[in-house]
Amino acid sequence: MRDAVGRRVRVAAGLLILAELAVFVLVVNWIGVGLTILATLTTSALGFALLGRQGTKALAELRDRARSRRPAGRELGDAGLVAAGGLLMVLPGFLGDVVGLLCLLPVTRGLVRGVLTRLVLTRLPDRMRGPVRVESVRTAGVGSRVPDDAPLVIEGEIVRGPDGRPLT
């Protein structure tokens, strides 16, 4: 299984490099070699500047969470996205610059975080996903307290048997 994952990563990296080269050639044909190199250097400089600014903000938010002893899940994720975005912006390539810019800008970082979260959650097996929150139609809007000796009733539907196989 580890070899299959490594193969997928190598294929994805190869396809990304080919796509970057194709875009680079298209830009060279469009604006010329000199302006393309200038644009590449400019996006790298912009990446350094944004990485410094957004990285400082992300680290300050992490420090604030650590001082107040609150969980820093979102801030840690933002710091990771800022680091990945900065790396993508600094490396040459226009496609990587676009993705890096999406990771670096606070306005679009939430969008990237949502896409990555959905991607990871769809790849995880059901048993490894987080807790499920269920709301019952019968108890929605009921504000009264349930007595401690009341039986616990959980409405639901059995979709897998004890052996883990789907029921038919």
**Is residue 162 over pLDDT 80?**
no
163 within domain boundaries: no
Lowest mean pLDDT among 83-92, 132-141, 152-161: 132-141
138 within domain boundaries: no
Closest CA to 103 of 55, 71, 61: 55
- Separation between Cα atoms, residue 35 and residue 37, nearest integer Å: 5
Strand partners, 160: 166
16 within domain boundaries: yes
pLDDT in the model for residue 77 = 84
In contact, 112 and 81? CB cutoff 8 Å: yes
- Separation between Cα atoms, residue 72 and residue 40, nearest integer Å: 35
Average pLDDT estimate for 62-90: 85
- Separation between Cα atoms, residue 27 and residue 93, nearest integer Å: 11
pLDDT in the model for residue 1 = 61
Q: How high does pLDDT run on average in the chain? A: 82
pLDDT in the model for residue 168 = 61
151 within domain boundaries: no
134 within domain boundaries: no
Closest CA to 154 of 138, 143, 167: 138
The neighbour count for residue 42, using CB atoms within 10 Å, is: 12
Q: What is the pLDDT of residues 87-136, one digit of tens each?
A: 999 888 899 999 999 998 889 998 999 898 888 888 877 766 666 665 55
* 58 alpha-carbon distance from chain centroid: 16
Work out how many domains the chain is built from and give that number: 1
- Please tell me whether the overall predicted TM-score, pTM, comes out greater than 0.85 for this model: no
pLDDT in the model for residue 152 = 67
pLDDT in the model for residue 98 = 92
Backbone angles phi, psi at 77, to 5 degrees: -65, -40
pLDDT in the model for residue 52 = 87
The parent domain of residue 41 ranges over: 2-126
Return the higher-pLDDT residue of 29 and 155: 29
Long-range contacts from 159-162, C-beta under 8 angstroms, 24+ separation: none
Average pLDDT estimate for 43-52: 89
- Separation between Cα atoms, residue 84 and residue 57, nearest integer Å: 15
In contact, 67 and 84? CB cutoff 8 Å: no
Long-range contacts from 26-31, C-beta under 8 angstroms, 24+ separation: 27/94
- Separation between Cα atoms, residue 110 and residue 116, nearest integer Å: 10
